[in-house]
Amino acid sequence: MLESAVKQARKAHINPAQRPDTDTHVQFGGASVNPATGAIVAVYGGEDAAQHIGNHADETGVPVGSAFTPFVLAAALRDGVRDPEGKPEQGPSERTIVDPDKSRYSGLNKLKIKNYDGSPWKSEKGEEWLQANDGGASYRDITLREAMVRSVNSPFVQLGMDIGIPTVRQAAQDAGLLKSSLDTSSVPSFSIGTSSPSVIRMATAYATFAADGQHWEPFSVDRVSHNGRTEYRHEDKPARAFSKDVAATVTDVLRSVVDEPDGTGSNARLPGREAAGKVGTTDGNKSAWFVGYTPQLSTAIDMYRLDESRTAKSRRFLGMYGTGGAGKARGGSLPSEIWRTYMTHALRGQAR
């Protein structure tokens, strides 16, 4: 079903013969996980293993973009923001838990990002950070729910600074992302997805929210039998990553991303079934993601352009402006279309 959904979208939208400058080397990756067990139920690793070097379901170096922001929200709900009058290292009693509908942040384009104490953040070269929003959109103070629905970058970048990048990084790791895939820097843009996890791990991490905050490690082998005897059986126990309330709040916000008419994930809406999810795009339009879930399945889809032929001398991610005949490839376009097609078929007959 997953492979069929990718092929359907590719056939309908990707035409290298007609648009050689924009539609060549388009790659997709996909993975689907059962939130209740961690079982990997579907993967899409690419068109042809004989022609392509990488497995697109595994780590490919593709940044996840703003699909990372649910982990920032989860950290803000679990760990809270720091007291601007306190020291950099603060315990729970010194922090304040945010409310996605009451805590407001500036959504201005090119917002000057500050440290948690209100001082301007500066790089080692003394340069300040001005955070741009997708398309140059600018908002006054907005709630975190509104920022998530519209995929506004600046509020989550500042929120990440208020929480502390190491704390956000730990929340993402607790959800299920591998430490090795997480950006080790502490630049403000960490909170909007400079890390490059695999689609398997993104599906797994979102599945933690679907499973009421319980994280199951992903697995692909249930048991191994030989000559009628079971030689191996998968056994595991979940780890508590977030409280049930935190997970439920994240899910509620991500449902708004899909349900709201102006939500960036509205293209992923499933007929007669609630779903939660988030789009992801990156600087230079080098990648587009959609990651979403229902109680039964968590699925991640990514899209990027990379010449993976064995004869390619240099491999670099290419921009996707004009790819598929669109002005800009977004997580709310082809990745969400593939996600919706796959999930509609995969969940058919299951309880709503």
Chain-centre distance for alpha carbon 26: 19
For residue 271, give the H/E element and its range: none
> Distance between terminal CA atoms of the chain?
19
The single-letter code of the amino acid at 229 is R
- Residue percentage of the chain with pLDDT more than 90: 86
Q: What is the mean pLDDT of residues 262-271?
A: 94
For residue 44, give the H/E element and its range: strand 40-44
| Rounded Cα distance, 128 and 138, in Å | 19
Q: Locate tokens 């990514």: which residue?
A: 302
| Rounded Cα distance, 269 and 144, in Å | 21
**Nearest CA-CA partner of 297 in 30, 4, 46:** 30
Across-strand partners of 281? 288
Report pLDDT digits (tens) over 161-211.
Answer: 999 999 999 999 999 999 999 999 999 999 999 999 999 999 999 999 999
- The torsion angles phi and psi of 27, rounded to 5 degrees, stand at -120, 150
For residue 240, give the H/E element and its range: strand 239-240
Across-strand partners of 42? 32
Report pLDDT digits (tens) over 1-49.
Answer: 999 999 999 999 999 999 999 999 999 999 999 999 999 999 999 988 7
- pLDDT band at residue 313 under the 50/70/90 scheme: low
Instruction: Give me 272's structure tokens.
Output: 């007669």
For residue 258, give the H/E element and its range: helix 244-259
DSSP state of 234: -
Give pLDDT, residue 125.
93
- pLDDT band at residue 311 under the 50/70/90 scheme: low
Chain-centre distance for alpha carbon 252: 16
Report pLDDT digits (tens) over 82-95.
Answer: 999 999 999 999 99
Q: Are strands 26-33 and 40-44 parallel, antiparallel or unpaired?
A: antiparallel
Which CA distances in Å does 45 have to 3, 54, 88, 216? 9, 8, 42, 22
- pLDDT band at residue 280 under the 50/70/90 scheme: very high
Give pLDDT, residue 74.
98
| Rounded Cα distance, 220 and 48, in Å | 21
| Rounded Cα distance, 289 and 29, in Å | 9
- pLDDT band at residue 332 under the 50/70/90 scheme: low
Give pLDDT, residue 71.
98
Mean pLDDT of the chain: 94
Give pLDDT, residue 330.
67
Which range is least confidently modeled, 17-26, 81-90, 105-114, 147-156?
A: 17-26
| Rounded Cα distance, 176 and 242, in Å | 11
Give pLDDT, residue 283.
77
- pLDDT band at residue 312 under the 50/70/90 scheme: low
Using a 10 angstrom Cβ sphere, with 0-12 exposed, 13-18 middle and 19 or more buried, the burial of residue 60 is: buried
Which CA distances in Å does 40 have to 45, 305, 342? 13, 25, 15
- The torsion angles phi and psi of 337, rounded to 5 degrees, stand at -65, -45
pLDDT of 333 above 60? yes
Give pLDDT, residue 162.
98
Q: Locate tokens 């790819």: which residue?
A: 323
- pLDDT band at residue 103 under the 50/70/90 scheme: very high
